[in-house]
Amino acid sequence: MSKIKPSQGAPYARIMGVGGYRPTRVVPNEVILETIDSSDEWIRSRSGIVTRHWASDEETVAAMSVEAAGKALADAGITAAQVDGVIVSTVSHFKQTPAVATEIADKIGANKPAAFDISAGCAGFGYGLTLAKGMVVEGSARYVLVIGVERLSDLTDLEDRATAFLFGDGAGAVVVGPAEEPAIGPTVWGSEGDKSETIKQTVPWSDYRNAGEVAKFPAITQEGQAVFRWAVFEMAKVAQQALDAAGITADDLDVFIPHQANMRIIDSMVKTLKLPEHVTVARDIETTGNTSAASIPLAMERLLATGQAKSGDTALVIGFGAGLVYAATVVTLP
SS (H, E, C) 214-227: CCCCCCEEECHHHH
Query: How far is it, in rounded angstroms, from Cα 183 to Cα 303?
Result: 18
Q: Are strands 314-321 and 325-332 parallel, antiparallel or unpaired?
A: antiparallel
Q: What is 143-166 written as a DSSP string? A: -EEEEEEEEGGGG--TT-TTTTTT
Hey, how many other C-beta atoms are within 10 angstroms of the C-beta on 3?
4
- Determine contact, residues 265/126, Cβ cutoff 8 Å: no
Residues 6+ apart with CB under 8 A from 230: 192, 195, 198, 324
CA nearest to 164, candidates 108, 224, 207: 224
Q: 263-273 vs 224-246: helix axis angle to the nearest 10?
A: 40
Q: Are strands 85-89 and 144-151 parallel, antiparallel or unpaired?
A: parallel
Question: 289-320 burial, b for 16+ CB within 10 Å, e for fewer?
Answer: bbbbbbbbbbbbbbbbeeeebeeebbbbbbbb
Active-site positions read 122, 259, 290
Q: Are 163 and 221 in contact (CB under 8 A)?
A: yes
| DSSP assignment of 170-199 | EEEEEEEEEESS--B---EEEE-GGGGGGE
